[in-house]
Structure 1
């Protein structure tokens, strides 16, 4: 690393560029193919949407899409740098009938489209490096404020307030009945296992520890927190969990108040139905909640809601763009595990893909207008969407239950609904997700400067000259 203000020589790169060892190393490497030769491995996995069974349910009348945004800003650059993280998530309700009616004349009626949507936004702030509560370490300050943000982030759409903490307790309980307590895999301080906490928290049972515990410790975000550096990844993990739990807040709200409405809705998340990082064990809790919900609704003779995750970017979205010309419009592609291992993730054929993170299975769908959607859909009435690859006595792969279309009876009507709500504003986009992203996004440029100034003023730090001298931060009760 250079000294402060030390500059590299203008020709310092020449030795690296001319090194034969570097050239030889890169010649050994391979990258994903940008062209497909024989498309047989694609076409044999395609199915026309019309050939899929359609489960018995009313056509969806509303969609609720969820998206989030986050930014970490430097309130004080240099050393020791002071950072603050902002999170904003949104749920957008779209009345599908009003939405479709907004285009009745050939031109979109902006007022009609506006009346077709309702937006709910939840935002919070989390401490970053060198920010802490009085007498508390940086990591434990993050734990405390993360728990506070979940407790204070709530919706009131179904009468009584329902927080993200309530949603967290709900996936540890059952639909309509949050758990009274949950078990932490370990104490964040001493590592002791099987610690019980309620929604209001608890204390480590180890006499020599007695650490204050929070229900959000079950998400283990503190494990990636850095006390003296960037925490963008930790912030993204927190945002993703907030998105997923806001989704649970609405699904469970409908279940408690009017369960039959669930069968008329499609719930859309930005990104796959999966949980990554230290919080990945929560995948099983989302899966258990979904299974219990499907069973409970089936007992009432009600179809389960439509649930789908849509990926706008990433490895699978890139792969879909490479192969899309080999997929006819109106066709869906089952991404079985051997295919994923060979053509997408470059793993060994028998690698057990998706076992730790996913509660839905990925598909690629070519819409009626030729757009490509990478979607994740859960099994109904439940079950793990990915299973370990199996081979027969001849060594050939056997189709497992999770790779049969019959395990996804909501797939056809889900894709038909998404087909109706496409938009040409962005490539491969659907309106509800675009609206949710618009409502949740924290802009760069001036928006980032405002958030930086807010952090500087709130922390009583020297303020940058950002041309926002008249900005006054809001007052919170």
Structure 2
């Protein structure tokens, strides 16, 4: 990477062009031509689907955002991150009423939404909590305290309780995890998992946390930016919050509400990075709650939809929809593309692995849907049974409530942005931190709170 203000020169470019090693490497690469892509893409046959007419009373949408800011506290490269996860409850009946009265006054539309959020500031490089010895230990403590302090219902379980319910599903036979104090621990022990805050059994008796099992702190960069781990924290909070909502409804004997409620999550139904193990725990817990809800009411499966805004799958769907002349419209409206493991590995995420795609990270499976209005949606529906996890085939029965899901997507398309959905536009508006203005405001706040000059 260049220094600030230093511009690239032509000499390295000339050296690369003339390098025999580079020529040899480039010569061994194979560029897939358009005909090859098209022949492979023909293996995905769009399926016309009858959209359901089920409409929920409410939709809960969940989205998050994070922004890193530099802190002047006497240490070079000091950094903090602001993380927010917003959930918006959308009154669908009122939304449909307003939809018949276009154009709608934005103030009137805002009245059909109610929002709440998890907002916090987390320490990064060279920012240390009072009483802690390092930025890594400060981050561990901060994450635990946020989990402990958040709850949907004032007298209900905390987000930490929900997380620890998921922690019970974590296998104990996996490879061991190092103690967070591995450099100082007198006995060089493995991390001992437990609930809440407790002490390391070595003579130092330093504090450990149940949230250490997420292992996010292990990737902390002590000398630079940590945007990647703050992104991991955000995605964990988004997905654990979704489970928290379901568990709270169960505890309050309100699971019948799920027959009139849908949850829309920004991104795929998956967890990536160090805390990826929690995706399988979420699958087991959501599947359990779904079984209880159906038995209690004799109703339908939970309607939980993950929606991707960007990424490789979104780009691939756009390519599928592109005609020979470059215009869009090849993929029929109100049709789905159901994805198998082999299709994904041959056409989207190239791999020769024998392990099913996303086996360790996903708690749902993807599909493509082109809405009645022509919007392209890359969505995920949850695994609720083991059969749903079998990616060697792709059948409608493996996508719980697919008909209701696509019918709802038809009704939620927003005209504000291409291929956008109203609930996620609302959730993003609550969660998104404006990068230019936001960073200045957040930096000022951080300085005031930390007493920095």
User: What is the TM-score of this pair, normalised by structure 1?
Assistant: 0.82
Query: Counterparts of 2:306 and 2:348 in 1: how far apart (Å)?
Result: 19
Aligned position for 2:67: 71
SS of residue in 2 equivalent to 1:154: coil
Query: Counterparts of 1:37 and 1:430 in 2: how far apart (Å)?
Result: 29
Give the 5 Å matches for 1:369-448: 369-380=373-384, 382-383=385-386, 385-387=388-390, 389=392, 399=393, 403-448=394-439
CA contact (8 A) 2:91 2:113 kept: yes
Cα drift, residue 208 of structure 1? 4.7
SS of residue in 1 equivalent to 2:386: coil
Residue 15 (str. 1) matches residue 18 (str. 2): no
Aligned position for 2:217: 222
**Per-residue CA distance 1:380-430 (angstroms, 9 max, x = gap):** 3x23744475xxxxxxxxx3xxx3221223111012112101101111110
Aligned position for 2:449: 458
**CA distance 1:95–1:24, shift in 2 (3 Å):** same
Which stretches in structure 1 are left out of the alignment for 5+ residues? Answer: 390-398, 463-477
SS of residue in 2 equivalent to 1:197: coil
**Per-residue CA distance 1:100-151 (angstroms, 9 max, x = gap):** 1112134224344222211112200110111112342221111011111222
**CA distance 1:271–1:8, shift in 2 (3 Å):** closer
Aligned position for 1:235: 230
SS of residue in 1 equivalent to 2:205: coil
Query: Counterparts of 1:286 and 1:319 in 2: how far apart (Å)?
Result: 28
Cα drift, residue 163 of structure 1? 3.0
Instruction: Judge which range, 357-366 or 37-46, deviates more.
Output: 37-46
Query: Counterparts of 2:24 and 2:345 in 1: how far apart (Å)?
Result: 27
**Per-residue CA distance 1:321-346 (angstroms, 9 max, x = gap):** 11124321001111100000000011
Aligned position for 2:282: 286
Query: Counterparts of 2:70 and 2:32 in 1: how far apart (Å)?
Result: 37
Aligned position for 1:160: 155
**CA distance 1:39–1:119, shift in 2 (3 Å):** farther
Instruction: Judge which range, 76-85 or 295-304, deviates more.
Output: 76-85
Which stretches in structure 2 are left out of the alignment for 5+ residues? Answer: 183-187, 322-328
How many residues of Structure 1 are paired with residues of Structure 2 in the alignment? Answer: 433
Residue 269 (str. 1) matches residue 270 (str. 2): no
Query: Counterparts of 1:217 and 1:126 in 2: how far apart (Å)?
Result: 15
Aligned position for 1:254: 249
Q: Which has the higher helix share?
A: 2
SS of residue in 2 equivalent to 1:455: helix
Aligned position for 1:303: 300
Larger RCO of the pair (alpha carbons < 8 Å, separation 6+): 2
Query: Counterparts of 1:80 and 1:11 in 2: how far apart (Å)?
Result: 32
Aligned position for 1:82: 78
Aligned position for 2:359: 355
For residue 342 of structure 2, the aligned residue among 332, 338, 343 is 338
SS of residue in 2 equivalent to 1:88: strand
Query: Counterparts of 2:214 and 2:32 in 1: how far apart (Å)?
Result: 34
For residue 92 of structure 1, the aligned residue among 88, 95, 111 is 88
CA contact (8 A) 2:193 2:213 kept: no
Query: Counterparts of 1:135 and 1:196 in 2: how far apart (Å)?
Result: 21
**Per-residue CA distance 1:240-296 (angstroms, 9 max, x = gap):** 111112212222222233111012111011000001111011111101101111211
**CA distance 1:5–1:341, shift in 2 (3 Å):** closer
User: What is the TM-score of this pair, normalised by structure 2?
Assistant: 0.87
CA contact (8 A) 2:283 2:383 kept: no
**Per-residue CA distance 1:304-360 (angstroms, 9 max, x = gap):** 320010000011111111112432100111110000000001112745211100000
Aligned position for 2:181: 189
